[in-house]
Structure 1
Amino acid sequence: MSDLKKMYSTLSEDPFPGDLTLRLGGAELRFAKKTWTIDGAEKGLRYGENPDQPAALYELAAGELSLGGVAFRGPGHALVAAMTEEHLVQSGKHPGKINLTDVDGGVTVLQYLHAKPAVVILKHNNPCGAAWSDAGLPDAFDKAFTSDRIAAFGGTVVVNRTMDVDTATRLTQVYFEVVAAPDFDDAALAVLRTKKNLRILRLPGLAKLEALAGEPFLDIKCLNDGGMVLQFSFRNRIRSTADFLPATAERDGVTAVARTPSPTEAEDLLFAWAVEAGVTSNSVIFAKNGATVAIGTGEQDRVGCVELTIYKAQTKYADRLAFAEAGLSLYELEKKAETDETAKTLLADIRRRTAEAKGGLPGSVLVSDGFFPFRDGVDLALSVGVTAIAQPGGSIRDTEVIAAVNEAVPQAAMVFTGQRSFKH
């Protein structure tokens, strides 16, 4: 077993060259490989997605690109790829590919949440929980962590404000692998440094994401045959609540118009749609009071995704009760209940309260990265107390989908985003 553990601490041999050039027509983009001097040795990426996959990080160093009249992000605007030794405040087990892409996933979300202190906790390139708060970073962290404390274990925390000692103290009560912030208070840094394997990244650009949010970059996807798909990066058109479109549709002479969200509902929809940009499709997000309640990722059908996300919300709700009242995870309490009558009684009570509370979903809003092909997913969301929904619109059955929210008691709201937010 000890030999197997070595694979995670052994660095992959890096055979990649120091520079990379990409030519598109008459444009030439030059990239430079990133390495860092750590503990007196030059090191690049620890490894790729797995320990036996060598990998290298490249930063755009020179060249400009414009396609279809759209200017792409040029040199000098990198965030994660621009890291130097100065930004690696504490390298811990210095970063591998997954660590950096999780931080980058945080950037994807936070670029649309610059208006308030915000926290995103990520694992495997998907948010576990996210929140923003007028009360500050500590409150945002608590809400993001509470959303799914089980998935957050071993994750990456990315914030858009200077890390304060209060937030840092909360963070060190849990095992995280990476924390990234635009800056750190001295007291916060001292607390974080007590976790010797924690990778601490100071990325000043996290405080300036608003300026980058509208600048597209060249998004490259690689195929298994070595081919490449090039696309413009996703650009979120919903930057304020005023950008939502009224949910209205007409079919067979019937016009359907949905209720407009309240200001509170609209702000939660705005927040959730920003988080949606960082979630693997096919996905939905339940959110309430500026925080995610449950995030459903990567499912094949939309109603199934809603169903599984409701299950996740109920499971996480029960786990929060179990941890608060017994100091155990839900799964630990279930195991203990097999032989302990007191634990069995508590578990039954927690399940009863979870069912009564519908997993904390009543009063939440829901966003969907794609339209609803049928009203079944909407009806399912309404059954657990969702009061407002945002979705792209454009389904042949939009009139039926709108009818679902109009028939709800009390009537629910719906808006269209006018764009899909798939991420594959």
Structure 2
Amino acid sequence: MSQDLKKMYRTVMDDHFPEELSIRFGHQELVYRKRTWKFPDDKTGELIEKGLRYGENPGQEAALYELISGNLTLGDCRFIEPKRGLVSAITEEDMVQAGKHPGKINLTDLDNGLNIVKYLMDRPCAVILKHNNPCGVAHGQTLAEAYARANRADRIAAFGGCLVLNRPLDKTTAELVAQNYLEVLAAPDFEEGSLEIVKKRANLRIIQVRRMDRLEEYRHLRFVDFKSLMDGGLIVQQSQLCAVKGPQDLKLAEAVHEGKTYRIQRMPTEKEIQDLLFGWYVEQGVTSNSVLYVKDLCTVAIGTGEQDRVGVAELAVYKAYRNYGDALCFEKYGLSYKELERAVETGQRPRKDREEIDAAVREVKAGLPGSTMVSDAFFPFRDGVDVGLRQGVTAVVQPGGSLRDWEVIEACNEAGATMVFTGQRAFKH
């Protein structure tokens, strides 16, 4: 059974989806072309043409389609037009190294990475994703610093992830990337000598995204978002446009309750504003319900996919402590925290080694003091924001709109924290 599964993972499936797909909206028609690539067969070396490796799991046929014709306008919304392909337009030339041949998840991770990076193009940025959610996102003075910070934010989840860079890969960054196991590496270009370094990872899929210099344009473009139902039905919606363009769109939290006006007493500092914006832009690519903590233009922890807001706030705190301890452990002993834990349990290392790491994490509260808390929807009760405030959060960004906004404002004022409203929810399902 184990060998059969391994073989399935390595099999590039044939698919039976048509070469062309068309969708009609009344009298308007969108036309899509299936994307395939020609690569040498692993065993025979013969040139073969294939589409996606498989879908979300081995045994699921899948296909990638690029919009090639049709200019859809519904109401006052003109949707994205052909010839703007990013992931759907990847060619053999862009597939610098095919690795194990891309599957659905590899490309949806890349797509969501670009969805986040489009807001963060003003300075070097690295986004590492796993299962269509970011694990770590960071800016840096250099690309290497951005990658190192994003990787350190959650080394555990980054293993086998998809890395999206918004600057050409340089040799310094390549050396860092080559030390870790990734499934996908995407960048706008590759400086001389960098490819030779990362190509040593034979299974790594290396992809050039040529339109990345124009990525900011996509902030203002809508696409048609399809959700397929198990009965064969469809739900169709416009994609969301982020209403926050800059600091001017962050409104100091204010609410009225029983005739009394509640206001945040402290304005955010310039540093907090930068983190508030950074966190809100990262939030655009995180599955709901979610709460993030960010600090110094880097994610501290990302809580995602929970059903209750206080629970996801607590989950993100847990991940912050876990990730910080793991990073310290790796830097000090060259081991993951779990490896150290087992070594202590089996008597291979002294118990004090783990206790020192734990004490160091507790001393700084996993780096959470001074961080910004980001919530994709309002806090229905103050218990959610209290989770972050107890850890030393000093700034909060959320949509606002709860009947209990007043008590969340009071909680922030009691803690000396600031809070801003975006006036727009950021659910992503």
Please report the TM-score for the alignment, with normalisation by the length of structure 2.
Answer: 0.97
- Deviation (angstroms), 1:195: 1.4
**Residues in 1 aligned to 2:168 and 2:346: alpha-carbon distance in whole angstroms:** 48
Tell me, yes or no, if the aligned pair for 1:260 and 1:415 is still in contact at 8 Å: no
**Residues in 1 aligned to 2:157 and 2:350: alpha-carbon distance in whole angstroms:** 24
Q: What is the letter of the counterpart of residue 152 of structure 1?
A: A
Q: What is the letter of the counterpart of residue 33 of structure 1?
A: K
Tell me, yes or no, if the aligned pair for 1:391 and 1:416 is still in contact at 8 Å: yes
Q: What is the letter of the counterpart of residue 206 of structure 1?
A: M
Structure 2: stretches of 5+ with no match in the other structure: 41-46
Deviation string 1:347-405 (CA, Å, 9 cap, x unpaired) is 11211221221111011001100000000111111000000000000000011110110
Residue in structure 2 matching 1:422, options 410, 422, 427: 427
- Matched residue, 1:11: 12
1:195 aligns with 2:195: no
- Matched residue, 1:128: 135
Report the aligned-residue RMSD: 1.0
**Residues in 1 aligned to 2:14 and 2:368: alpha-carbon distance in whole angstroms:** 48
**Residues in 2 aligned to 1:197 and 1:103: alpha-carbon distance in whole angstroms:** 16
Where in structure 2 are the equivalents of 1:158-197 lying within 5 Å? 158-197=164-203
- Matched residue, 1:370: 377
- Matched residue, 1:206: 212
- Deviation (angstroms), 1:186: 2.1
1:266 aligns with 2:266: no
**Residues in 1 aligned to 2:5 and 2:78: alpha-carbon distance in whole angstroms:** 48
Deviation string 1:275-321 (CA, Å, 9 cap, x unpaired) is 10110000011000110000000011001111111011001111112
- Deviation (angstroms), 1:340: 2.3
Where in structure 2 are the equivalents of 1:142-157 lying within 5 Å? 142-157=148-163
Tell me, yes or no, if the aligned pair for 2:12 and 2:101 is still in contact at 8 Å: no
**Residues in 2 aligned to 1:384 and 1:348: alpha-carbon distance in whole angstroms:** 21
- Matched residue, 1:412: 417
1:64 aligns with 2:59: no
- Deviation (angstroms), 1:197: 1.0
- Specify the SS of the correspondent of 2:355: helix
Percent sequence identity over matched residues?
52
Tell me, yes or no, if the aligned pair for 1:216 and 1:232 is still in contact at 8 Å: yes
Tell me, yes or no, if the aligned pair for 1:247 and 1:415 is still in contact at 8 Å: yes
- Matched residue, 2:338: 331
- Specify the SS of the correspondent of 1:14: coil
- Deviation (angstroms), 1:342: 4.2
Q: What is the letter of the counterpart of residue 353 of structure 1?
A: A
Structure 1: stretches of 5+ with no match in the other structure: none
- Deviation (angstroms), 1:3: 2.8
Q: What is the letter of the counterpart of residue 244 of structure 1?
A: L
Give the paired residue count: 421
- Matched residue, 2:365: 358
- Specify the SS of the correspondent of 2:245: coil
Q: What is the letter of the counterpart of residue 261 of structure 2?
A: T
Tell me, yes or no, if the aligned pair for 2:289 and 2:308 is still in contact at 8 Å: yes
- Deviation (angstroms), 1:225: 1.0
Q: What is the letter of the counterpart of residue 36 of structure 2?
A: T
Tell me, yes or no, if the aligned pair for 2:126 and 2:143 is still in contact at 8 Å: yes
Deviation string 1:47-90 (CA, Å, 9 cap, x unpaired) is 00001100000000100111121110010011000011111111
- Deviation (angstroms), 1:239: 2.0
